[in-house]
Amino acid sequence: MSKNKDAIHITSLGKTFPGSKKAALDNINAVIRPGIITGLIGPDGAGKTTLLRLMTGLLLPSHGKVNVFGLDTVQDAERLHDITGYMPQKFGLYEDLTVIENLNLYAALHGISEKEKSEVFEKMLHFTSLGPFTTRLAGNLSGGMKQKLGLACSLLGKPKALLLDEPSVGVDPVSRRELWKMVSDLAAEGICIVWSTSYLDEADRCSEILLLNEGKLLFYGPPKDLAKQVSKGGKEEIGFEEAFIEILGGSHRGESVLTKHMSSKKVKDAPSIQIENLTKKFGDFTAARDISFTIKQGEIFGLLGPNGAGKSTIFKMLCGLLQPTEGRALVSGYSLKTAPSEARLRIGYMAQKFSLYSDLSVKENLNFFSGVYGLIGHHRQTQIEKMISIFELTPYLADNAGLLPLGFKQRLALACSLMHEPDVLFLDEPTSGVDPLVREEFWNHIQGMAAKGVTIMVTTHFIEEAEYCDRIALIYGGSSIASGTPMALKEMVRSKALPKPTLEDAFITLIEQFDQRRPL
């Protein structure tokens, strides 16, 4: 098969960064075809982003080569940029420019003439449904809209190969489904798509996957073949997620290491969290409207909703970071308005975005937050050492927190929020962007803490995680539009058209039904 026919040839590819003894990529060989979506999966630090950057020519290989539609990424770097579109993991556009200003900038970089721009922009704005938002600052877009704008900018040069580094991280299920359809349509047009993802349901929908771990290629082929490869002898074939975890060393389920070191909380009759008619307005905009619910001790209570629904606003009010415009909130019996200090001492909070001090080391962050939570003397040192051991932070103690791999950033953030053994723990998208092994580890801790009597409130865009919650409130447009157990939410949408609804079906259907009832 000729190199021009296949989109990307990867031959004996290796990359070692200066100062590192270990290869980031080690002898990778693959042929990636056009007209399909090829998934790039693996745990944190596996080498996924390094491989994508080598494909774009942003990094030079230590040995081996990459050939993209007949162009060598080293010798033909200039021409390569004309046929590749790259969407980095972090939002790479200019947040202080509007949607249309970002499009204009990228059009100039791709050499698109003024005559061509009108037609190209119209097509991109229609394709991404961003037409009504051209004057909005990119920084003010929802997570899903940001990703659509990033996709539009990466498509302006009409690339033959589109390389997407975790495009759906932090994106709600509705936007994720839309993004997937958009990219599937591009693949149907013959574009070569490489989609790096931490969502195993996305990986399972790819035509082919590359599974990396510690720089090595463990598997390349259709997702269904991974399960066949891992299944042994006469055993019944296992599922894709089970196969993924098995090939990386197996599940680490069992008693949480964290909760082995925790004492059970004293049982209380009163609710751990009680909110009544909670409302938050920013000028004329109502971010949360008349929210009421009660959460029992030891419950795992999930907040689901699209980007911009109001989940983080509710969280911040419950943690005392925002004062409500109306209504009241009680945490462990204390009012966040009249007794905020007492309430905060019983709360642990892990923010949606990494909120620790990036320029401080891991050890310095642990010291700082133990002091913030009022820990002193021997008890303070004991708690710090316990967190270092539980979350395996020893190799990173002297490293700046901002430079940690994402999984360890999240481990550190969770460790800091638990230092004082809170009664109530607020987790705002704690597993966003982490690999499935870290996600499993976190939920092992969460379920173990709940069994010890800790009350946990969590937001997530991983619908399969929401199944672990005892109850869920679906937040949309600042309002709570449905609540109940995961099974109860599914029952709400069961019909002839949806005889066996999934939780994702319930999420999307309930939002659609609410939109249909809402007055124009």
Q: How far is CA 300 from the centre of its chain?
A: 20
Indicate the average pLDDT of the chain.
Answer: 88
The per-residue pLDDT for range 461-498, each reduced to its tens digit, is: 778 889 999 999 999 989 999 999 999 999 999 999 99
- The answer to whether the beta carbons of residues 435 and 42 sit under 8 Å apart is yes
| pLDDT value for 148 | 85
What tokens were used for 142? 């929802």
Amino acid at 141: L
What tokens were used for 12? 């004996």
Residue 350 pLDDT greater than 80, yes or no: yes
The residues facing 66 across adjacent strands are 10
The dihedral sign for the CA sequence 483, 486, 488, 491: positive
CATH 3.40.50.300 in the chain: give the residue spans: 8-247
The per-residue pLDDT for range 4-53, each reduced to its tens digit, is: 467 899 999 999 998 888 899 999 999 999 999 999 998 878 899 999 99
Cα–Cα distance measured from residue 315 to residue 479, given in angstroms and rounded to the nearest whole number: 14
Cα–Cα distance measured from residue 349 to residue 326, given in angstroms and rounded to the nearest whole number: 22
Binning pLDDT at 50, 70 and 90, where does residue 236 land? low
Q: How far is CA 416 from the centre of its chain?
A: 20
| pLDDT value for 3 | 44
The C-alpha R_g of the chain, in whole angstroms, comes to 24
Q: State the fold for domain 8-247.
A: Rossmann fold (3.40.50)
Nearest to 287 by CA among 477, 452, 439: 477
Binning pLDDT at 50, 70 and 90, where does residue 1 land? very low
Q: How far is CA 178 from the centre of its chain?
A: 16
What tokens were used for 399? 């490293």
Q: How far is CA 425 from the centre of its chain?
A: 20
The per-residue pLDDT for range 456-471, each reduced to its tens digit, is: 999 887 788 899 999 9
Cα–Cα distance measured from residue 16 to residue 12, given in angstroms and rounded to the nearest whole number: 13
Nearest to 414 by CA among 446, 455, 375: 446
Secondary structure of 85-96 as H, E, C letters = EEECCCCCCCCC
What tokens were used for 442? 């976190």
Q: Which residue pairs, CB below 8 angstroms and at least 24 apart, start in 9-14?
A: 9/66, 9/67, 10/51, 10/55, 10/64, 10/66, 11/64, 11/65, 11/66, 11/67, 12/63, 12/64, 12/65, 13/51, 13/54, 13/61, 13/63, 13/64, 13/65, 13/66, 14/61, 14/62, 14/63, 14/64
| pLDDT value for 247 | 85
Cα–Cα distance measured from residue 124 to residue 158, given in angstroms and rounded to the nearest whole number: 11
Average pLDDT over residues 373-395: 92
Residue 172 pLDDT greater than 80, yes or no: no
Binning pLDDT at 50, 70 and 90, where does residue 520 land? low
The dihedral sign for the CA sequence 353, 354, 357, 358: negative
Residue 240 pLDDT greater than 60, yes or no: yes
